[in-house]
A and B are shown apart, each in its own frame.
Chain A
Amino acid sequence: MRDSKYPYQIADSSVFLNTDDEDLFKIEIPVPTPDQYYNLPYEEAIKKIDGYGFSPDKQKFQYQEMPSKLKDIEAVIRKKKQIKPKEVVRLEDIDEELFSNAAYYSKEIIWIKKQIRRHYKGYFFFNNGKPTYIPGCMYTYLNFWPIGNPKNKDGLPEYRDRDRRWFAGVMYSYTTRDGVFKYKVVYTDGSESFVRYFNNKKSVDEFKEINPQCYVEEGNFIVDTGERTMYGVIYPKHRREGATSRAGFLNWYVTATLGIQRFGGIQSMSDYHSTQVFVDHIAKRLRRMPFFFKLMTEGSSVPKEAIQFTAPANRTAGGVGTTSLPPHEGWINHRPSGERAYDMEKLHFIHHDEVGKVDPKNGINVNIIDRWRVVMKCLAQGPYIHGLGLLTSTLGEMEKGGGDQMKRLILASKFESRNDNGQTASGLFTIFFPAYDGLDGFIDEFGNSIIEDPKRPVKNSDGRLVSIGAKTYLQNKRKSFEASDDQTGLIEEMQNFPFTLKECFMSASKDSSFPVLKIRRRISELTFQPHLTRRYNFEWESGRGSRVILKESDEGKFIISHLPPHGLRNLKEWDPETESWRPSWNVMNRYVLGADPAKYETHEVSGKKKSYHAGAMFYKRDMAIDGDNGTEIKLRSQWNSDKFVLTYKQRDVGREEYADDMAKACVFYGAMLYPEMNITHLYEHFLEWKLGGYLLYDMNEQGEKKPLPGRITTDGSNNSAKQDIFDTWEQYLKDGCEYENHIEILEETANIDGRAEMTKYDLFTAGGYALLGSKSLYPKFVEMNEQASKIDSDLFGTFDYF
């Protein structure tokens, strides 16, 4: 037994994913320790690990060297059987050679068996003084899956610690039965106690109603559910980091080698791309695998569509394999990008490549969320999950449509947010590595990431000395963009090399006078704070014109971030002059509802693109709550007002329903409606319903209100309504977009590309009207009149007049 004079480190018992990201839950994944792996006491076990006895600086991952007899085996068979150079040496010839000469090949056979065993069980090696475990899949990937790495003579991948964590994470999703729960409920049937776990408070409450004697404990419970809980992983990948190669490899590993009669699939953003992934990352690689990993397949050339693991039709026609054993009978193929391409199929692996690259302008118009939903059914039989999904997309290349969908998928893939079955909403969890973890050129000779600045220069895997860490290197690049005030360049840099998950979704915009970087930052923050807004509907309590009541609903038409205090809701008064209702004067100067009606009714849009009915309510700065109090200054970040509080964007509602919805919002908040008047039905409906007092007018130079409320949208280089809208938005965004709570309205401001696009950005337009309306002096004018009347009235009450 070898002994070591070196004080080695203790092996880790787990690896961690998603560390140091405020929007991601840190995931701990257990890995075997040497004593568990070898079933020996720890001190004995480590002696069996490759690299034991060497000094730490000599301990690195070493590729397996194929024994020379096996390297030469094909040549030997060719000679013995006089096989011509153009003919294929069949697998059964190799088997025959090995078995007929078992004694001669005995060590080689043991070596092969060792590779196969490690392929499943994983492998330990000493790495810089630490016993390090890599999963079986990674072992075979590193040793036998040529990816064309120019640094390796056989093109094999380089060992990287980041990849080790990645493989561990993906395989964890394939095996874990853990569910994460917030509530533990202990109940009894009268004679025995049982436990159930929940995540949904409503479910707990319902359960308590049925079992009033139960005991509820709140916490963070990780429970073995008895069945697999994860369908796979969604992974925003870095450019040229090898993730597509790893995904191709895992497709083969899971489909072909974890059981027979299994099926693997690939979908990408187009047929061309899925073919590329299939051919370049699976079919070509498989041909270079050693014979003991090669299943029987149909045909010997590189397939373009599918690999069928079936017996060749003709044993002598160049088929790869033999007919002597029952074949695997599975396949790996690729399909077009459409949502239903694998519908009704049974799958054991699916790779959805480039899920964030949907680009309708180039005909790539796939709903990746629907497609994933379809494929989930292929990966499971009822509640029993048998397959694995891997969804990847390159950072920095997420187009608008796909990027949004990918963002939604990621939000539905929060490790800690589970349903009552212990699963995430998407069935996936997100793996994210910051750009500085595993960055090219910043990997040390042991495969570890050089993240922080090293105390002294260290050698990287290319043999060069590195004196700064990857984080400093990337920060320096960011600083140069900041110094030159290059917003677009900085955003691109941040998205290509994100430090946090949020930064993945900052997309670069065109030249704009808007503070795009600030907007994007706020959008990224709001992406992970969905609780700031909720969806509601409004209803008349007893018919139109009565009080309005609020109903919370996941399907609600209104997205709301602020509600007026109870005493300030539904405050309206009858205006005998106009014979209509209007907001009480003490609330009418607070809220402005900008409205942008759709140009056409739903039934009118045959052949035309449907537009939305939109509304956005702005809460003007309210000095009563956000004013300074004596010497105490209330900071802008503490204000509740001077921001949007409600949005509405609906396509499939009629004009009357839209007007009714706007009316309810106005009555509830006491808001004034400032509509776009190119379409007048809102105005007409408000007058018809005796709500004319809720219409907001501009005042002319003479201090008289204009004849019509709102504005007519006009275009032109100067003084047009459209230009005014852009100007007022610019001012608002520069002053306070970092305090805005409505992501949906900020996204439109970030994406709109000039005045010509206003018809496509209905919330932007409605918001613009709200901001313009908030400048109208009309409510102040009414308020002043009311106050004057009140003073008059008081005076009349004080003095006697004759």
Chain B
Amino acid sequence: MKFDSSEFEKLKYPIHKIPMDQPVLFEFSDLSKFSIIFSANDLPKQLDPDLVLRYLIFMYDLGSPGQGIPDLKRRKTWAMQCLNIEPPYPKHITDMLSWKIKGVNRRAIYFLLLMGGEQYMVWKSAEEALLRYTELEIKLEAEDEAAQAKIVQAEKTRREIINMTMSQITASKNEFLQGEKSKDLDDELTEFTLLDSLGIRPEEYIREFQDKGDVFPDIDA
């Protein structure tokens, strides 16, 4: 590594202390909880899962010196240097950097979730609120003009809230993604949040039940 190790002291996952021939996944308990993601067999053969994880840490760990490089392209080059990889990059690295590999994208979403849990919660709440307001049916029956005016007002308020919520979604999503703008990454995230919002995929509610011993507590059984 061409950098002074003191620059990396603030890393949440201090991987600079771990030799390159030693996998980092099981060095950190909160990462290893997601081992099913970070060690999944869904990468091109040339791409080592450990290298991907190190790359994500250098890029998106909130304590990484890379956070001081706002330009994401430059930050990626820097992260590659941290991994002793210099341009021109082979195809699998280029694909990784440009979010062309689904397995990398999925890892990135989970890693970002570890880094930006709060932004994610804001965003998710906003998504849920949006769903609620979209589903809301104004059922009051208008018996007189005053009541009719109330219904119109209620509908207006509902639309305003929907618009506000959508802005909130955009802002919190951007913050969560640390400025990354890629359609592939966005799709991965949409898929992730989509399912998270409905929560009716078995892979998801089973995890929920396993962790909390309950699912959909707000639903009347």
Interfacial residues, chain A to chain B (CB-CB below 8 A): 37, 48, 91-92, 95-96, 98-99, 102-103, 106, 109-110, 112-114, 116-118, 120-123, 256-261, 292-296, 311, 323-329
Contact = CB atoms under 8 A, between A and B. Distances in A.
A261 B37 CA distance: 13
A106 B198 CA distance: 10
Given A95-B194, A99-B194, A257-B206, A116 B200 contact: yes
Contact of B209 (A91, A258, A328): A258
A771 to B, nearest CB: 65
Which of B36, B215, B221 has most chain A Cβ within 10 Å? B221
B198 A98 contact: yes
Leading 9 A-B pairs by shortest Cβ distance: A259-B210, A106-B135, A324-B191, A325-B203, A113-B216, A99-B194, A113-B219, A117-B216, A295-B202
B202 A293 contact: yes
Contacts of A118: 221
Given A325-B195, A325-B203, A326-B37, A114 B209 contact: no
Nearest to A92: B191
Contact of A99 (B197, B207, B210, B221): B197
Contacts of A92: 191
B208 to A, nearest CB: 10
Contacts, number: 100
B134 A103 contact: yes
29 contacts: A48-B220, A92-B191, A96-B194, A98-B198, A99-B198, A102-B131, A102-B134, A103-B134, A112-B200, A113-B216, A113-B219, A114-B216, A116-B216, A117-B215, A117-B216, A120-B209, A121-B221, A123-B221, A257-B209, A258-B209, A259-B206, A259-B210, A261-B36, A295-B202, A296-B203, A311-B42, A326-B36, A326-B40, A329-B36
Nearest to A326: B36
B134 to A, nearest CB: 5
B204 A102 contact: no
Contacts of B221: 37, 114, 117-118, 121-123
Nearest to A104: B135
Contacts of A295: 202-203, 206
B28 interface: no
B91 interface: no
B26 interface: no
Given A109-B200, A259-B209, A292-B200, A114 B220 contact: yes
Nearest to B190: A99
Given A116-B215, A292-B202, A260 B191 contact: no
Nearest to A296: B203
Given A103-B134, A114-B219, A325 B194 contact: no
Nearest to A330: B206
A256 B206 CA distance: 8
Contacts of B210: 258-260
Contacts of A293: 202
Given A99-B198, A311-B42, 11 more contacts: A92-B191, A95-B201, A99-B194, A103-B135, A113-B216, A117-B215, A257-B209, A259-B206, A260-B210, A295-B202, A328-B202
Interface residues of B, number: 33
B64 to A, nearest CB: 25
Contacts of B203: 260, 295-296, 325-328
Contacts of A324: 106, 188, 191-192, 195
A118 B221 CA distance: 6
A292 B42 CA distance: 25
A103 B137 CA distance: 10
Nearest to A37: B221
B124 interface: no
Contacts of A121: 214, 221
Contacts of B40: 326
Contacts of B220: 48, 114
A95 B195 contact: yes
B205 interface: yes
Contacts of B102: 323
B65 interface: no
Nearest to B110: A326
Contact of A110 (B194, B195, B214, B219): B219
A292 B199 CA distance: 10
Contacts of A103: 134-135
Interface string B122-160: 000000000100110000000000000000000000000
A122 B214 CA distance: 12
B147 to A, nearest CB: 25
Nearest to B201: A325
A327 B210 CA distance: 14
Contacts of B36: 260-261, 326-327, 329
Contacts of B215: 113, 116-117, 120
A349 to B, nearest CB: 15
Which of B40, B42, B102, B191 has most chain A Cβ within 10 Å? B191
A689 B135 CA distance: 100
B123 to A, nearest CB: 16
A327 B42 CA distance: 12
B206 A260 contact: yes
Contacts of A328: 202-203, 206
Nearest to A136: B221
A121 to B, nearest CB: 5
A253 B195 CA distance: 22
A549 to B, nearest CB: 60
Interface in B169-194: 188, 191-192, 194
Contacts of B135: 102-103, 106
Contacts of A323: 42, 102
A324 B106 CA distance: 8
Contact of A120 (B191, B192, B214): B214
Contacts of A99: 194-195, 197-198
A97 to B, nearest CB: 11
A295 B205 CA distance: 11
Nearest to B217: A117
Contacts of B216: 113-114, 116-117
A113 B134 contact: no
Contacts of A106: 135
Contacts of A113: 199-200, 215-216, 219
A257 B216 CA distance: 15
A300 to B, nearest CB: 16
A91 B194 CA distance: 13
A329 B199 CA distance: 19
A325 B204 contact: yes
A92 B200 CA distance: 12
Contacts of B106: 324
A451 B72 CA distance: 76
A511 to B, nearest CB: 57
B193 to A, nearest CB: 9
B195 to A, nearest CB: 6
Nearest to A107: B135
A195 B220 CA distance: 42
Nearest to B203: A325
Contacts of A48: 220
Contacts of B192: 324-325
Contacts of A258: 206, 209-210
A116 B36 CA distance: 24
A123 B219 CA distance: 13
